[in-house]
Structure 1
Amino acid sequence: MPAKLSVNMNAVALLRNRRDLPWPSVTGLGRIALEAGAHGLTVHPRPDERHVRRSDVPEIRALIDDEFPRAEFNIEGYPTGDFLALVETIEPEQVTLVPDDPEQPTSDHGWDFVANRDMLKAIVARLKRTGARISLFSDPDATEEQIAAAKATGADRIELYTGPYGGCYDTVKKAGNELERLVKTAGLARAAGLEINAGHDLTVANLPALAERIPFLAEVSIGHGLTADALEYGMAETVRRFLKACGW
């Protein structure tokens, strides 16, 4: 089965937040994405609310519950007390834990699973009580030792950070090298019994090669590139284009 597509709504929220107005509507465009076939929605509610706001999160939960019960809600974030409490209230289908500093403009590295194993193990156990699947953000070149430590946390999946791969959009050779790193790490994770997600700077152009080389990829979470394309093609047509790029 091809990788499922989760549409990250942060870029839509960032555009909305430029004005004290309710448009573009995060839930409205989320509805269009799900109607077009997206398998879920992703949000990353940062402490400063520069993207998705805390008030958006229950609204998206209600949208999925009321209109798209087969879709999944994925909430990303650094596991602060506030974040954990939010997740426990909303009960998303998936939680993706990222090692972001609050000042970071975007996620740009994975966890050091060895150094943070005990901390992550406790958090994963806590969040699993909500019934959520737990995914941990991983560097594209994680070692076998790092992957073993990720597995030891009790997490279900890793999410491969594909930023370096996406950043090679104008250099075929470099993109190929970055893809090989992702393929190797995905293989280590699968051998350890972890499922694999991927996300960051994925596009219609670079998704097919990723999907071909990692045919067991479970999910891709895409925001910036998909939102940019939606300005040209509209959200519904863009979702259909990304689904096709995934192999649907």
Structure 2
Amino acid sequence: MRILLIEDDDRTSVYLRRGLGEAGHVVDAIKDGRTGLDMALEGIYDVIVVDRCLPGMDGLEVVRELRRQGESVPVLMLSALASTEQRVEGLQAGCDAYLGKPYAFVEVLARLESLLRSRVNAPANRPGQLQVGELQLDCAQHLATRQGRRIPLGQRETLILEKLMRHHGQVVTRLMLLESAWGYDFDPNDNVIDKHIHRLRRKLDEGFDASLIMTIPGAGYRLEAPEAMCAEAEPASNLRKESDEP
């Protein structure tokens, strides 16, 4: 999962980031509600964990605004304000789950995994399913499909491919891919993206003539559907034929 954590308490933030990271998840941590809302609206997160009391914009307002703008990403709210009335208020604001402090980390993890399962079992047109030409991606299941061939992916490969598909036809820089798959404060090795792109390209292109991921020297990568590549090539072919005519 790629998780957005909106929590202003440093100790709590470090505790959750460490635990979620050790569980194999990618976590971006933000301290204030306004910035957290802006990042949540990017549509790249599988789940959002938000504290109720935040500077800039409190957690309830963050969730209300997310729902007002049509963002359906699951939200887990954490708060020391945990009376029955306060829990109901959080759920009515649009939270999918509400957990009172203090809590055990294993419960946080179980709630997040439950929310992810709910998203997996949602209708087929859920935001976690993408399609570009013959290529389909189920983000939650880490599964790509090309012309009916199922291609299991790793977590990082899924996040990289998701970014490329959401921006298909456009150049996606290495920095954009790093931020999508590793988080904003990751200190990468020089060729970590190139290695993952190489493995991803090998998986997607096995048994096919056309490669889906183009390398744009000095810029990054671009994903193209084979149909689009053929369409681009056709006018040039026609021009050559016309120029050969007397």
TM-score with structure 2 setting the length? 0.32
**Which of 1 and 2 has higher RCO (CA within 8 Å, sep 6+)?**
1
Structure with bigger gyration radius: 2
TM-score with structure 1 setting the length? 0.32
